Amino acid sequence: MTASFDSADLGGGVRRLTLRNEGRKNALDDASLGQLKAALQSAEGVRCWLVRGDGNSAFSAGYDLSSLSAVGEGPLPDDFIGEVFDLLQGHPAPSVALVTGPAFGAGCELACACDFRIGDNNALFCLPPAKLGVVYAARGIRRVAALTGLGRAKWMLLTGARIGADEAVGYGLLDVKADDAEARALSVCAGLAGAAPLAVAGMKRTFQALMQGGPNESEAKALEGLRRAAFNSADAKEGREAFLARRPPKFSGI
């Protein structure tokens, strides 16, 4: 049975993506990654993503190792993983990972590709490539290290240490740990979806440029253009008027 990413609109611009792979602890494969890519590219009306594993037993056990074999001169097996996770991380709409069980290997990286991670006491993070004979992709290491710092990323990748929920908060792998993790995640998603889309997208792009050592000259000009457009947008006008009137703003994304 192949894995799948099921999509469901929860209202208010929040779209839930549920990774399902019955019997394999929600392991990823190329089919599910293709579905995630398609969902990210067909995102009209989405203001926030909620990413989760099916049930509460696992967020994702990582990439399904049963589909791996020796490689030749073509693309490496994890190239597609990095491509799809880059799309998620760079998407204009913010994302929240609900981690209610193990997030191993590519599952850990999937959580790190989201903007925020909310989990319960069962959240468990692990990066085991050194125990599998695999050199993890540089962009995946950068994705993790951006949250944990280089030293802790090295510890996770070279030792294969399992990081429990309490420790994960200190590592930066969890932003919030709560018994009611799902309710907290939905609340955060609703708040993010209610923010001004142009402002959120522009600041997400800025963070992405900073994480990659920039912005360079061309990206700085693009970001200036985004800031100028946001200042002149209908949403900026609505934000000012709502603030002065002491009422909640209603943003349209224009």
For 144-176, the pLDDT digits (tens) are 999 999 999 999 999 999 999 999 999 999 999
Q: Could you say which DSSP state residue 4 is in?
A: E
pLDDT band at 187 (very low <50, low <70, confident <90, very high): very high
Buried b (16+ CB within 10 A) or exposed e, 203-219: bbbbebbeeeeebeeee
Taking 70 as the threshold, does the pLDDT of residue 1 lie above it?
A: no
> CB of 27 within 8 A of CB of 5?
no
Taking 80 as the threshold, does the pLDDT of residue 69 lie above it?
A: no
> CB of 82 within 8 A of CB of 139?
yes
* Length of the chain, in residues: 254
Taking 80 as the threshold, does the pLDDT of residue 72 lie above it?
A: no
Q: Could you give the angle at the alpha carbon of 89 between the alpha carbons of 173 and 227, nearest 5°?
A: 115
pLDDT band at 55 (very low <50, low <70, confident <90, very high): confident
Q: How many angstroms separate the CA atoms of 31 and 109, rounded?
A: 17
Q: How many angstroms separate the CA atoms of 158 and 150, rounded?
A: 12
Q: How many angstroms separate the CA atoms of 14 and 244, rounded?
A: 27
Give the whole-number percent of the chain exceeding pLDDT 70.
97
Q: What is the pLDDT of residue 177?
A: 97
Q: What is the pLDDT of residue 148?
A: 97
Q: Which CATH number fits domain 4-193: 3.30.470.30, 1.10.357.10, 3.90.226.10, 3.40.640.10?
A: 3.90.226.10
Query: What's this model's pTM, rounded to 2 decimal places?
Result: 0.93
Q: Could you give the angle at the alpha carbon of 192 between the alpha carbons of 126 and 215, nearest 5°?
A: 75
Query: What mean pLDDT is predicted for residues 189-213?
Result: 91
pLDDT band at 32 (very low <50, low <70, confident <90, very high): very high
- What are the start-end ranges of the E strands in the chain? 4-11, 14-20, 48-53, 95-99, 102-104, 116-119, 124-126, 162-164, 176-177
Q: Domain-by-domain residue ranges, the chain?
A: 4-193, 197-245
Q: What is the pLDDT of residue 213?
A: 79
